[in-house]
């Protein structure tokens, strides 16, 4: 089994409730290389997030559009600093970091153009 701590773009199952699902999918697809599959649910569309063919989470329309889009999770990446730069280039914002976590890796918190917040992290590999 592939470890989410070693696979760029990996996270455990998390959901994003978004005020603009299309823009959210475009933003995260560009940064992490994710693809999406639509599922029609009774409450509306639900978009399965896939990373290298593995379902890892979902995106759903925000049931309360007065609230900002939101989720929390850590995404494994190859280069946190590169992700921070790319997020800003795509209209996002860097909220924290990049910063090292001793004995763990390097991370940052980014905010997409619709206001959702997520963290990107590069874990130290054995021997680093």
Could you say which DSSP state residue 78 is in? S
- How many residues are listed for the chain in this entry? 128
Q: Which of 76, 17, 75 is nearest to 47 (CA)?
A: 17
Domain coordinates of the chain in residue numbers? 14-123
The CATH number, out of the four listed (1.10.287.130, 1.20.1250.20, 1.10.10.10, 3.10.180.10), of the domain defined by the range 14-123: 3.10.180.10
The secondary structure element, H or E, covering residue 89 is helix 80-89
Q: What string of pLDDT tens digits covers the 128 residues of the chain? A: 677 778 888 764 588 989 999 999 999 999 999 999 999 988 789 899 999 998 788 898 987 778 889 876 789 999 999 999 999 999 999 988 999 987 888 989 899 999 888 889 898 876 55
- Distance CA(44)–CA(94), nearest Å, equals 31
d(CA 128, CA 110) in angstroms, rounded, equals: 25
User: Can you name the residues that pair with 76 across neighbouring β-strands?
Assistant: 121
């Amino acid at each position: 089994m592939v470890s989410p701590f070693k696979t760029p773009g990996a996270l455990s199952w998390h959901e994003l409730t978004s005020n603009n699902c299309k823009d959210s999918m475009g933003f995260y697809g560009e940064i992490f290389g994710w693809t999406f599959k639509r599922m029609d649910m009774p409450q509306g569309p639900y978009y399965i997030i896939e990373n290298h063919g593995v379902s890892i989470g979902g995106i759903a329309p925000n049931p309360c559009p007065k609230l900002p889009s939101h989720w929390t999770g850590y995404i494994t990446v190859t280069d946190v600093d590169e992700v921070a730069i790319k997020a800003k280039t795509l209209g996002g914002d860097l909220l924290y970091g990049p910063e090292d976590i001793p004995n763990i890796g390097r991370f940052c918190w980014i905010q997409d153009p619709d206001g959702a917040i997520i963290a990107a992290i590069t874990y130290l590999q054995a021997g680093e």
